Amino acid sequence: MEDKLIAVERTTEGIRVDLQLIASLIKPGSRVLDVGCGDGSLLRYLVERRDVDGRGLEISRAGVQSCLRQGLSVVQGDAEADLGNYPSGA
């Protein structure tokens, strides 16, 4: 798979518009499982701005390491194979 750079629109404050849009749909204090969390950008934003109890599932080692460096709770795994390991309602 080839990595591609994607330009993401930002607000005048420099905040990614996509993160703001997604965060607006999340109730503060919710529990969130970010499947395919990548480098943790969305998960970190939700933890910081919406005070969520956030967890991530990421297949790439680099993504997991990035999340861990930011203090995020993440496990390395494949959503198809490993998502069933998360208990219902967890």
Bridge partners, 43 (sequence order): none
What's the CATH number where 40 sits? 3.40.50.150
The helix or strand, by DSSP H or E, that contains position 33, with its residue range, turns out to be: strand 31-35
The answer to whether residue 65 sits within a structural domain is yes
Digit-coded pLDDT (tens) for 17-61: 899 999 999 999 999 999 999 999 999 999 999 999 999 999 999
pTM, two decimals, is 0.79
Digit-coded pLDDT (tens) for 23-33: 999 999 999 99
The answer to whether residue 19 sits within a structural domain is no
Band of pLDDT at residue 8, cut at 50, 70 and 90: low
Domain encompassing residue 65 = 28-85
Q: What is the pLDDT of residue 47?
A: 98
Residue 81: both structure tokens together? 């194979």
What is the domain count for the chain? Answer: 1
Q: Are 49 and 56 in contact (CB under 8 A)?
A: no
Q: What is the pLDDT of residue 1?
A: 45
Q: Are 37 and 56 in contact (CB under 8 A)?
A: yes
Q: At 44, is the secondary structure helix, strand, or coil?
A: helix
The answer to whether residue 21 sits within a structural domain is no
